């Protein structure tokens, strides 16, 4: 019986892991840049309203709870 030469496919996993890792780094970098560019301003205008940070000593009290169960 003649011995068959079967290619060793285990060596293919290392380049695939490197490609996947590189893609994850690129995607994470793009996400970070988009978040930094579009989400970095806390005083954003939304419609007719401007979003502003609350003061550090901000308090509120619930005077009446009208939720429906």
Assessment of whether the complete model's pTM goes beyond 0.75: no
Q: How far apart are CA 50 and CA 20, in angstroms?
A: 41
For residue 65, the number of C-alpha atoms closer than 13 Å in the C-beta half-sphere is 5
Q: Which residues contact 43 (CB under 8 A, 6 or more apart)?
A: 50, 51, 52, 53
pLDDT in tens, the chain (69 residues): 567 777 666 555 556 888 889 999 999 999 998 887 776 555 666 677 777 888 999 998 988 888 886
């Amino acid at each position: 019986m003649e011995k068959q030469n079967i290619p060793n496919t285990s060596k293919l996993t290392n380049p695939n892991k490197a490609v996947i890792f590189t893609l994850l780094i690129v995607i994470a970098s793009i996400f970070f840049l988009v978040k930094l560019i579009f989400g970095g301003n806390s005083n954003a205008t939304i419609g007719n309203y401007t979003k502003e940070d609350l003061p550090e000593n901000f308090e509120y009290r619930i005077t009446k709870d009208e939720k429906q169960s």
